[in-house]
């Protein structure tokens, strides 16, 4: 069993987005001090943290600094080199580990790992040039989708190819670095499951949720997912199998596609708490952020997490902020969380709302009608 990090110690967080903000709130509630490393002076976590190192995530000196100022380091982003974690592990605990980071930030490595533990994924090919695209589509077929090899669960920039004429559209993405061409899965729903593992190896799973993206950005969760129980149980089995084969403490997540016939394909592994589970801060017996802090600091996890019923969570940006303020004064059962973030960036999340409901479809129609 790893070291127990006592309250009063300092948790350093690499990244300062909304995940880091909610992790910081959980940590401070439990009695820890919090520092963050993020280049943005107005990042969401900056108003919560006790201190903020403002530096790019490719700055090795900044990683040395956060290690010196912290008793334990965790991360909420994959946007830095795993070698930095390897260096930090010489002097302090990094419970999520560099192996998890390496797998979660590299699509090719991730797919090799998932195949090695017999998890179903879409057919794919590694791409470094336009000629690779032309060759790969001969076996993968159309439609297919090109994705950057580096991952980021917040944004889903990609290029969909429906025929040979679309190959030219991949040039910008191909020129930006290595990428992956995947067969297009005609999915019915896009799912996510969060998995927590503590120092003893105990694994608990959160309810399977539905995800939705708008303009390549994540914006909505429906919990639990509107799928049959057999699919839900299979998703949980896949999640446990994945967690058992990676050495880590904390919360990770899997993104999956399910088709109309019930087939499941794992699309991505996220090596830290997922935005799809922000709703757990207001809904359920243990938020994913509390679970993450407990697990990385050596506290035991409960046997299971429980939730009182269905809920929908949506993020809102600057354009929707006035409507969010209006609804916050009207809707007594809607649970709002507002973030500090850069006011000059209209696309940055300004907060989220979690809404309990007995009728998901009616609620989704209402949200569309009011522009949220």
Q: How far is CA 13 from CA 45, 304, 325, in A?
A: 10, 26, 30
Q: In the chain, where does the domain assigned CATH 3.30.470.20 lie?
A: 187-369
**Local mean pLDDT, 10-residue blocks, the chain (372 residues):** 87 95 97 97 93 96 96 94 90 93 93 97 96 96 93 70 96 91 96 97 97 88 97 98 97 97 96 96 95 98 94 93 95 93 73 96 93 84
Distance (Å, whole) CA 336 – CA 354: 7
Q: Domain 10-94 carries which CATH code?
A: 3.40.50.20
Q: How far is CA 6 from CA 109, 201, 294, 365, in A?
A: 35, 20, 11, 47
Alpha-carbon dihedral sign for residues 2, 207, 23, 348: positive
Q: In the chain, where does the domain assigned CATH 3.30.1490.20 lie?
A: 123-183
pTM confidence score? 0.94
CA angle 82, 96, 15 (to 5 degrees): 65
Q: In the chain, where does the domain assigned CATH 3.40.50.20 lie?
A: 10-94
Q: Mapping DSSP to helix (H, G, I), strand (E, B) and coil, where does residue 249 land? A: coil
Q: Return the CATH architecture of domain 123-183.
A: 2-Layer Sandwich (3.30)
| Predicted local confidence at residue 348, as pLDDT | 79
What superfamily in CATH does domain 187-369 come from? ATP-grasp fold, B domain (3.30.470.20)
| Predicted local confidence at residue 343, as pLDDT | 66
């Amino acid at each position: 069993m790893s070291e127990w990090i006592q309250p009063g110690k300092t948790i350093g967080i690499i990244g300062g987005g909304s995940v880091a903000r909610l992790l910081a709130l959980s940590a401070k509630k439990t009695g820890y001090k919090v520092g963050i490393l993020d280049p943005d002076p107005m990042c969401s976590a900056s108003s919560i943290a006790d201190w903020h190192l403002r530096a790019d995530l490719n700055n090795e000196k900044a990683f040395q600094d956060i290690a010196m100022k912290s008793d334990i380091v965790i991360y909420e982003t994959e946007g830095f080199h795993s070698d930095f974690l390897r260096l930090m592990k010489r002097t302090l605990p990094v419970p999520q580990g560099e192996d998890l980071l390496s797998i979660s930030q590299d699509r090719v490595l991730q797919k090799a790992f998932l195949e090695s533990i017999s998890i179903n994924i879409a057919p794919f090919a590694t791409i470094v040039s336009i000629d690779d695209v032309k060759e790969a589509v001969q076996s993968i077929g159309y439609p297919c989708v090109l994705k950057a090899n580096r991952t980021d669960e917040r944004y889903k920039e990609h290029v969909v190819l429906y025929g040979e004429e679309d190959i030219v559209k991949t040039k910008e993405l191909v020129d930006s670095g290595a990428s992956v061409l995947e067969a297009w899965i005609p999915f019915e729903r896009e799912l996510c499951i969060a998995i927590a593992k503590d120092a003893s190896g105990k694994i608990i799973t959160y309810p399977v949720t539905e995800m939705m993206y708008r303009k390549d950005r994540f914006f909505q969760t429906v919990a639990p997912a509107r799928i049959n129980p057999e699919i839900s149980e299979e998703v949980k089995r896949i999640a446990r199998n994945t967690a058992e084969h990676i050495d880590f403490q904390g919360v990770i997540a899997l993104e999956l596609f399910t088709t109309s016939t019930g087939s499941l394909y794992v699309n991505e592994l996220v090596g830290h708490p997922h935005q799809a589970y922000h709703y757990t801060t207001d809904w359920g017996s243990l938020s994913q952020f509390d679970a993450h802090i407990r697990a990385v600091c050596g506290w035991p996890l409960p046997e299971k997490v429980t939730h009182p019923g269905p809920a929908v969570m949506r993020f809102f940006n600057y354009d929707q902020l006035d409507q969010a303020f209006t609804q916050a004064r009207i809707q007594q059962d809607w649970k709002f969380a507002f973030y500090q973030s850069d006011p000059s960036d209209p696309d940055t999340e300004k907060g989220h709302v979690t809404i309990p409901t007995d009728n998901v479809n009616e609620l989704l129609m209402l949200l569309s009608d009011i522009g949220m």
